[in-house]
Every structure is written in C-alpha cells, then in structure tokens.
Amino acid sequence: MASSKMRVEELRTELHNRGLSTAGPKPTLVRRLEAALRQQIPSATSDADAFPPRRTGKRARDSPNEDSHRSPAEEETTKEDRIVTATKKGVAVLDQWLPDSVKTHYHVLQLGGEVYDAMLNQTNLGDNNNKFYVIQVLESDTGGEFLVYNRWGRVGVKGQDKIHGPYRSCESAMQEFEQKFLAKTNNEWSNRNNFVSYPKSYAWLEMDYSGKENNSTVTENLGHALGKQPQESKLEPRVAKFISLVCNVSMMNQQMMEIGYNANKLPLGKLSKSTILKGYEVLKRLADVIDKADRKILEQLSGEFYTVIPHDFGFKKMREFVIDTPQKLKRKLEMVEALGEIEVATKLLKNDADMQGDPLYTHYERLHCELVPVEFGCEEFSMIEEYMKNTHAKTHSNYTVEVVHIFRISKEGEAERFKKFASTKNRMLLWHGSRLTNWTGILSQGLRIAPSEAPVTGYMFGKGVYFADMFSKSANYCYATRTAKDGVLLLCEVALGEMAELLSAKYDADQLPEGKLSTKGLGGTAPDPSKARELEDGLVVPLGKPKKESSIKGDLLYNEYIVYNVDQIRMRYVVHVNFNFNTRG
C-alpha cells in the first residue's frame, strides 16, 4: 500500500516497528516512512543520490565534537530499519542500538546501588539543538571484561555511537564513564543527586531503577499490545474490558508520543518523581515571566523544560516551540500532570510481563476500588444518560458521545474520609474528565491536587480539583480523537458547602474566605436549577437543560466548581464513553 494512503495509526505502527520517530502530522509521517523505504531499496535513480551512503560496520570516531548538530539528511541515514527491542538484564535496559553480539553477552554494570547508566539531554532553542547522549558501562555476563558505550545525536534518530574497551578492570571502565559524564554535564557522577544544570551543557535524566530485577527482551509492538486480551479473567466481562483499556502502558506510551513526549529517551516506566517535579518547577519559573515578553528568557526556560521533559521535534526549527503564551504553558502543564499519573501507573503495573494466569484481575486488585456495572435501562443509568444529554453544550457540537459502560465505584478508604462532609449542605453530583493515560493513577490514588512545584497561573481558581455541571465541558478534557475515541469521566459527590463565587480568574482562590468550603466560577450558561433532581440522601444532580444566565457577566461560558481538600470528594460513578466526531470540515 502507498504510504500516502495509509491511516495515521498504520503509519505510526510501521514507523515504530522500524525504530523511527512516530511524532508529527500525517504528511510528516508519510515523508519519514518513504525516506526509510528509499533507503531499503538500492536504486540507480536520483533518489539514491539524495542521501549520503549509510555507515557500515565502522563506528564513529570519538572526538571533542562528537555530539555536534548534523544536517537532517545525514541524521536520517543513521536510522536502521528494524523492530526496536529493549533487552533488560538486571535493573537497567541495554541501549536499543547496541549490536546483538554485545547485548547477548553483556549487561549494564551495577555495584550496590550504583547503576552505571546515564541518559543525558540538551535542548537549546536559540542554537536549534535538541540532542541526547547515552553513556553505559557494560560488564560481560561471565565477568572480568568491561566496555563503555556512548551514543549521541539529535533526538528522534539513532545518531552515532562508539564502544570503548575492552577494559580488564571495572575501575578503568568506571573512570571512562565518570570522565565522560563530567565532560558533558559539568557535574561529578558521585554528586549527581545534587545535580546542577549549566547552560550549553547536558542535563542528566534521572531514571527509576526500583523494579524487580529480571532478564527479559521486550519487543515494543503497540498495535499488538493494545489489542491483547487474556482468554479468561475472574472479572465480570465489562469490568475486564475497562481494566484492559485503562491499565495499558502501551496506550500511555502512544498517547504521550502524540502530544510530543519522547518515550524512547525517557521511557514511561523509568520516570522518577523528581523528574516530574523538576518539570513543574521550570514551568513555574516560566509562568513568572511569560507576560514580560522577554524572548531570550522564554527561549532559555523553554529549552530547560524540554531538557528535563524530553520531546521529539524532528528537524523543525526549535524556535517554533518556545513556550511563550499562557495557552502553551497550560498544555505543557497538562502534559506534566499526565506524566505524574503515568509515573504512578507504571509502578503499579510493573512486572506484568512475568504475570501468569489473570493479569487483569491483578491490575484490578491493585487499584483498591470496586467497580460494579450499572445495567442499561435501569433508573440510575437513565438518570446519568439524561444528565449527559441535557448538559452537552451547543458550543461543543463537533462531537457526540455514546455510553459504553457505567460503573458504580467504591474507593477504599474514601467513604471514611468523606464522613465528616456527608451531611454538608450543597452536595452535588459533578463531572470530572481526564486523559485515558491518567485513569490508572486516578483510580488507584484518587483525585489529587497539583504539587507546590506547579505554577499557580496554570489553574484559573488556584490549585484544587476542578468539576463541572456541564458534561461536555469535562468531556473535552478526555482529549479523545478520531483515532482514539475512548473517553472516561467520573461523576463525583462533591461537598461544596458555602461557595466563594467568582467571575474571573483568581490564582489564589484556594485561600478561601472564612466560612467558605469551595469556589464556584460563574458561567454564563448553566443547567436550569429548577430541573435539578435531589436523591434520597440529599445529593443534587444538576441535570436540567442549560439556560443563559443574563445577570452573569464573567469570563466563563460554563460553571466550574473547585475544592481544595480531597476529603470533600467521593467518587460515585465511572462513565466510559465513545466519542463520535463530525466529519464535516
């Protein structure tokens, strides 16, 4: 099939299987795949002359300029067309581009808690740099022989590599490793836990090696992983289907790549909490200067963010990616939030490759919540469906949704924490939507408030948990697409009590006035309060059709409700929907 006629997901699968970047819109994916195919077929045509000959067995010389920026054509030729495999022996993964002969007989050196494995990153928007540097000490499986491996280049391609050695002592190999680390970062390896980033130097991407030690070879194949289902599970089939949807690291990998994150450089399973907090911290500094229009500072801080949270920009001009508007800052903040949820999820789902029997049941047990399907057509189901349909805003008419399943949810420990708010006046059943990547984290940990490292300016009414009474307002935060149509939302009982009502942004709204329990951002359109339904326990369901509030002259189209204490939240229903996007336009 011609590349141009393939669907986006087919292009991405084909590129992934060849070890190539899957980032970018369809035209970029087509060009990338066609370039790979041209390299694969020797030809006497002019196309063959468009690319320099591919390097053969000879490895690049190690020189002071070894990580210099090369041209796109030169970089493209360093890619190899093969399925990328990750070989793990012990706690660290061998670099994917090591020769198989080395992978078979060597592992990454570990001495006590020291793992001699470093992934370095440097993004400098002004110089159009977005590059990586890998350093690994390799020990032979039989012992007594050591190598030091380096690989470097622009993010998204293989780049160049060199193997130093063999060394007869681990001290010699460690010395080479530590000297290279110092030369590239200006930091001593022994003091890396107090790492300081310097301009024009590489930053160290901290990895989490806390997983169980095991030897394994994993072939990354997203299409297969997404479709994989066990033959049998103790779980009720609807629950099993839902767990297979949200507890899926391959799905997380794919969705994060689609918004620019480079999972090849910093695999999702190796994310550390400190990396995520550093990402928040850089965004916080960006938020402090974003209104000052100092381009140089914005470029510098954007580069710092992309150094900490690696992205694959291909060969686009780096200056196109300066984080210079509140909207761009908000998108990056949402990315870091998603990575925070994934960091929780990957720890929870670790070692699934070794799991025998019923992995879905094991995933479910680890969530520490009970999911019970709500039957189609029953009173509860009809009420929720009515709430959805009535509060789908006219301004969100580019899609419709259909219910796949609804589950009653009971989160371990949540009812006990909610007790002190159970009789609070003004308790409402409200919507909360989030990316598919986030649900393992949310279901296992509950809804949480952004950490102190996050910038307050990314949250219109301060750092809290946000809810809506309009279904589609929350549904937009699922970020579903035409090729990834699944969305998940929560319906939560929220103890709002007396609300501080606001018409416009107030970043310190979490400092509530005395006697207030929550914030309400007043929207110009809201469900008709006279049509709200009150349940037996006093919970109010605002399922009336929307009506304009002519007296409200604020910044919001629709209401927002924010609480700053997670004990005021009790999850009641999980709603799994499919998005159907209009074909017009």
Contact 469, 542 (CB under 8 A): yes
Quote the CA–CA distance of 258 and 190 in Å, as a whole number: 36
Contact 441, 361 (CB under 8 A): no
DSSP code of 94?
E
Q: What is the pTM assigned to this prediction?
A: 0.69
Active-site annotation, residues? 560
Ordered strands of the 540-541 beta sheet = 369-373, 399-411, 569-581, 486-495, 427-434, 540-541, 533-534
SS3 annotation, 26-48 = HHHHHHHHHHHHHHHCCCCCHHH
CA 509, 510, 516, 519 torsion-angle sign: positive
The continuous run of DSSP H or E covering 93 comes out as: strand 92-94
pLDDT of residue 53: 31
Please confirm whether the linkage preceding 166 is cis (ω < 30° from 0). yes
Phi, psi of 543 (to 5 degrees): -95, 15
Q: How many Cβ atoms from other residues are within 10 Å of residue 425's Cβ?
A: 10
Contact 107, 142 (CB under 8 A): no
pLDDT of residue 93: 83
Rg of the chain, C-alpha, whole Å: 26
SS3 annotation, 134-198 = EEEEEEECCCCCEEEEEEEEECCCCCEEEEEEEECCHHHHHHHHHHHHHHHHCCCHHHHHHCCCC
Quote the CA–CA distance of 341 and 441 in Å, as a whole number: 5
Phi, psi of 129 (to 5 degrees): -100, 135
Quote the CA–CA distance of 461 and 562 in Å, as a whole number: 7
* HSE-CB of 345 using CA atoms within 13 angstroms: 25
CA distances for 275 relative to 195, 385, 455, angstroms: 12, 40, 16
pLDDT of residue 217: 41
Quote the CA–CA distance of 527 and 543 in Å, as a whole number: 6
Burial class of 552 by CB neighbour count within 10 A (0 to 12, 13 to 18, 19+): middle
pLDDT of residue 35: 66
Angle of the 273-289 helix axis to the 295-308 helix axis, nearest 10: 170
> Residue 415 is which amino acid?
A
DSSP code of 121?
E
> Residue 196 is which amino acid?
V
Burial class of 212 by CB neighbour count within 10 A (0 to 12, 13 to 18, 19+): exposed
pLDDT along the chain (585 residues), means of 10: 68 64 70 63 30 34 42 32 48 87 92 91 83 94 94 87 95 96 96 89 84 44 40 87 92 80 69 86 92 85 88 76 91 90 84 66 94 96 98 95 97 94 96 95 94 88 97 96 94 98 95 97 96 95 94 91 98 98 69
Contact 495, 467 (CB under 8 A): no
DSSP code of 214?
-
pLDDT of residue 312: 78
Question: Which residue is listed with tokens 């990396």?
Answer: 275
Quote the CA–CA distance of 161 and 59 in Å, as a whole number: 6
pLDDT of residue 57: 36
